[in-house]
Structure 1
Amino acid sequence: MKRILLPAGGAILATGLLAAGLAGTAQAQSDVASDPLAKTAAQAAETLDFWSKSNYAALKKAVAFNPDALEVKKIKSGGGYSSDTKPGAAAPIGEEKKVTVKTQNVNLPKTIGKVFFEWKDGNLYYCSGTSIQSQYRNLVATAGHCVYDIAGNDEVVSRWVFVPGYYQGKAPYGLYIGKQAFTHYDFDVYEDFDRDYAFVTVYNGIGGTLNKPKQVTKAEFDAYKGEKGVKETEVSFDEYKKGRLDPKTSDYYSAVRGTRSQKVGPDYPGAVVEKVPATKSEYYRAGVGPGNGNKFGEPVVTQVTKHEWDSYRGKGEKSKDARGNYLITEYFVQAWIKPGTEHKFIRTDFFITVHEVKDVGRLGDNVGGQGVAWNQPTGKYVRTFGYPAGPHPDGNKPYTGVTPKWCYGKTQSKVLQIPARKVEEHQSFRCAVTAGYDGGPWLYKYSNAKRLGYVTGVTSLIVDTDGNSRYDTITSPLFDGETSAIYKAAAASWSGKLIP
């Protein structure tokens, strides 16, 4: 895999975003690892088609990412956190707006959404993520393990896409296909979860009508190579005749000729028995049981009028009883047949599936973007967001992943150490969520009125600290000076449009 080591110092100057936190970043140039996701328009088009076809069926199929490799059994508390450089921050998109509101409700940020991808096992998964500030308003923050394969082969996941505001297969702000992923070299190469974060540039969003059926002629249908289908409707003979004579119609009319009934045996599949009139002598000479020519029930005696009696010309026997009533006695034998069919007239409508898509613009212009801050003190209140859906270790599944959830609390003053994931310093706080929440933002100084704050971490691990088989704590890497260098490199990277 080819890594691109970007000059972090130059990236800082290019952004024009930050007023603080420049010290101590130049030496971190080699910490920036960057890998392409969909580096060509053809790859991006394939990713769009994969997720959008059949009415976003793949998005609905994806489940919360919770590989066995992320199970954590042993954690311990470390010392306090000390920053490597001065604190710094990039203001959120829209921070300049002054908004006041008095409410106790939590207004969910427009910036959050789901990150969808295909993992190495061929299954479809999702994590959480958020739009953040960047020079080109095209940047998503999420967990590193939601972008990079953590199975030890130094590769990114496949078909990575961000859907802000995702809800039950809907993409209200469009689909944003990942172009370039940025993370720390230690995570990319060594899977060091102290650096379990990633910043992903995305192309302009794609919206419009996807998977729209369009009616075409039979010739157009036959020539089309994509998704297509037909609809057959039985019609009257008059419509069939008119349609066959109308050269302007796009419908195709055909006739299905009926078939005559055939005489078969009683053992023939689908055969039915009919009664056939017989004379008295034929009836009494006939055998019994199933079979052509055998008796069909008992003779049928019917009382009729004199006129009906006089005009009767059937095979039955005419007679009168002692009271002078006019009687006709009819005799029947069996005839086993395969029924015929009637003529049918069919109209066939031909449809192809088309995408009437359009460029809906840059991610940050559509949903805004959270700020980013690093080297912030622990022991501060943060609000986190994400889409939990996985089960607790005991099998309980309290969340559906349909709508985002949030937690609010103060981060622990002491860092967590998790040897199984090479974690020496993770910030943490109490939050009883499950898989799917990982990758979601930790927002410091969150404004409920503006729905904006500063990302100081992303959910990395979801752990059970008291051993009761229920998750109770979430952790995040600490955003420090090295994180800022990686973020600034990503924030200065252009992605552009997929649709001219």
Structure 2
Amino acid sequence: MKRLLIPLAAASLSAAALTLPANAAPSWVTDPLAPKPAEAYSNAYFWLDANGAALRKATQYHWDAKQVSKIVSTGSKTPDDGKPGMTAPTTVAAAPKSGNVNLPKTIGKVFFLDSAGNYRWCSATSIQSRHRNLVATAGHCVYENGKDVFSKWVFVPGYYQGRAPWGVYAGAYAFTTYDLDTYDDYDGDFAFVAVHNGFTLSPEKAVPKADFDKWAGDKWAKDVPIDADEYKKCVDLHGGETADCWAKLSTITDVVGPAYLGPKKRAFKEVSKEEFDKASKGEGNGTQASDRTVVDNLTKPEYDAYKGLGYRKIDDKGNFTVTHYFLQYWVKETAKTDYFKTVFYIGIAKDSGPLGDAVGGQGVSWNQPMGQKVTAFGYPGDPHPDGDKPYTGVTPKWCSGKTGTKTYQVNTFKVETHQVLKCSMTGGADGGPWLLKYDNNKRTGYVNGVTSMFHDQDGNGRVDFISSAYFDGETADVYNKANYAETGKIVGPNGEMLK
């Protein structure tokens, strides 16, 4: 838990104007996730703080595993939606090996908060794009119920056993199909997300108050208990009481006015927001409101369990906060107090560069013939419907085989043209890429789908098929629009937040 004394300043990044001709039928939509550096920094920092504690607390986003549905063949073959198309992948250095399939460096997890404040994750991959900044995943891993985007959305490429080896990339803009956004139609259950440059965090650094005040990045203060002698030295060093050293009252005793001629000291007592507001209006009992307010950022469980005097609030960025208010009193020198020294810290971030530069990007394909071999990757974590749980969600897994030669439907999700793959991966693999023409040496291929749904086709309580939206001309249209979204650095060369 860190105490943020001041909010981060906000600034904006540019994005290409993405407009639809007035006479054209809508096929795509775009929504902002965190286009401004301050919010993007806050989102990424939320997951990196405390050595990635929030990353480890997250659970896979899913519906009830017992509600796994069956798929019904429509009898239709490859949809006729125009000419086939592809964009070539880019490659970088090799990634870890797993069995006889080499894992691509591009895959990872997306993390976000759902509307209930739960920490969630899905699978995803980096893909080739004009600005080397796009992530492909399932639409339901970006849009909740096909409507509002999730908060604190980030991508962690190469996620492996709780580690983020190439940093965290905060989402800036999301792109998906009009039908998913408007009708929650899973025939369009995919999304492309433009992300900011990634960053990693260095260990915290204690600095003088002057450097703390000038720092434009993340900063916080910790109140360290000291004894009366240390307190007196601190006061003498600064020529009086400062924000660096202060006395805290547990009970109000020996209150005097500022004009009292005897030995006296200034002390603070935490009060409720209501009492603080009264004192600010001159209604307090011989006190005055100080400028000492402290904001604590909490986890959701800490927020829910909090019973203190502080004022709880979920801020506009989705942070769970408690604001503490202190009133200032003049008391006799002999009044019992606890003494504290405030140590000021700054958080130094390091820019990881564009996503595509760090891990490369898979190609993208559309309008491809069905019945071709694909390799699907993801981080399965859900149990099977029968309760067996063979996957942990901590490490990536894969399936390989030919997709079905016909399309399938799932009425409860408005699905009419899903492609299918025989595979036993469970929930948590949602959003993972289906790579056509996967080159095991280069670790690249062409994203020809992303895992959308899981199916128990033979009714034995085990997932045996996964399905994906068929990537067609509409997919190409959404992808081409996402290609124009510009993002950039959110931290500078010294680790400061850019404006």
TM-score band, normalised by shorter chain: 0.5 to 0.7
Is 1:391 aligned with 2:386?
A: no
1:215 and 1:350 in contact (8 A); partners too: no
Residue among 87, 98, 101 paired with 1:106: 101
Write the distance in 1 (CA, Å) between the matches of 2:357 and 2:234: 53
Matched residue SS, 2:435: strand
What are the equivalent positions in structure 2 for 1:82-481 lying under 5 Å apart? Answer: 82-94=79-91, 105-150=100-145, 154-209=147-202, 212=204, 214=206, 227-229=220-222, 351-481=343-473
Aligned partners of 1:35 and 1:356: how far apart in 2? 30
For the 8 Å contact 1:231–1:348, the answer to whether it is kept is yes
1:308 corresponding residue in structure 2: none
- Give the residue type in structure 1 aligned to 2:19: L
Q: Structure 1 residues 137, 106: closer, same or farther in 2, change over 3 A? A: same
The structure whose Rg is larger is 1
Partner AA of 2:417 in structure 1 = E
Work out whether residues 199 and 487 of structure 1, in 8 Å CA contact, stay in contact via their aligned partners in 2.
yes
Q: Conserved in 1, the CA contact under 8 Å of 2:70 and 2:455?
A: no
How far residue 220 of structure 1 moved from its aligned partner, in angstroms, is 8.0
Instruction: Give secondary structure in 1 for the equivalent of 2:468.
Output: strand
Q: CA 1:47–1:220 in structure 2 vs 1: closer, same or farther (change >3 Å)?
A: closer
Moved over 3 A (4+): 4-8, 26-29, 68-72, 225-234, 243-248, 346-353
Corresponding residue for residue 61 of structure 1? 57
Contact preservation (8 Å) 1:5, 1:32:
no
Q: Shift of the alpha carbon at 1:228?
A: 4.0
Is the 2:68–2:385 Cα contact (8 Å) retained in structure 1?
Answer: no
Specify every segment of 5 or more residues in structure 2 that has no aligned partner in the other structure, as ranges: 1-16, 239-243, 248-337, 492-497
SS in 1 for 2:80: coil
Separation of aligned partners in 2, 1:69 and 1:37: 28
Q: Which residue of 2 aligns with 1:52?
A: 48
Q: What corresponds to 2:26 in structure 1?
A: 30
2:316 equivalent in structure 1: none
Contact 1:117/1:158 (<8 A) preserved: yes
What is the TM-score normalised by the length of structure 1?
Answer: 0.67
Letter in 2 for 1:58: A
Q: Which residue of 1 aligns with 2:311?
A: none
Q: Give the secondary-structure state (helix, strand or coil) at the position aligned to 1:60.
A: helix
User: Secondary structure in 1 aligned to 2:475?
Assistant: helix
Q: Counterparts of 1:69 and 1:194 in 2: how far apart (Å)?
A: 21
- Of all paired residues, the percent bearing the same amino acid is 51
In the alignment, is the contact (CA less than 8 A) between 2:212 and 2:345 conserved in 1? no
**Does the residue aligned with 1:110 lie in a helix, a strand or coil?**
coil
- In structure 2, C-alpha distance between the alignment counterparts of 1:490 and 1:425, rounded to whole Å: 23
SS at match of 1:194: helix
CA distance in 1, matches of 2:420, 2:23: 28
How far residue 41 of structure 1 moved from its aligned partner, in angstroms, is 2.2
Comparing 173-182 with 67-76, which one deviates more in the overlay? 67-76
**CA distance in structure 1 between the partners assigned to 2:182 and 2:65 by the alignment:** 16
Q: Determine helix, strand or coil for the equivalent of 2:401.
A: strand
Contact 2:61 2:122 in 1 (8 A): yes
RMSD: 3.7
1:6 to 1, 19, 23: 19
Deviation at 1:454, TM superposition (A): 0.3
Distance 2:192 2:405 in 1: 26
Distance 1:473 1:487 in 2: 26
String of CA shifts for 1:159-204, please: whole Å, max 9, x gaps: 1100001123321111100000001100110011010000000001
CA distance in 2, matches of 1:132, 1:122: 29
Letter of the structure 1 residue corresponding to residue 409 of structure 2: Q
Aligned length: 376
**CA separation in 2, counterparts of 1:466 and 1:353?**
58
State the alpha-carbon separation in 2 of the partners of residues 167 and 28 from structure 1: 44
CA distance in 2, matches of 1:416, 1:352: 59
For residues 391 and 118 of structure 1, what CA distance do their matches in structure 2 show? 22
Alpha-carbon shift at residue 146 of structure 1 (Å): 0.2
Q: Which amino acid aligns with 1:113?
A: G
Deviations 1:254-307 (A, max 9, x none): 9xxxxxxxxxxxxxxxxxxxxxxxxxxxxxxxxxxxxxxxxxxxxxxxxxxxxx
Q: CA deviation at 1:370?
A: 0.1
For 1:45-83, what per-residue CA distance to the aligned partner results, in whole angstroms no more than 9, with x for missing partners? 321232222222211111001124994434211222223
- Is the CA contact (8 Å cut-off) linking 1:176 and 1:205 kept in structure 2? yes
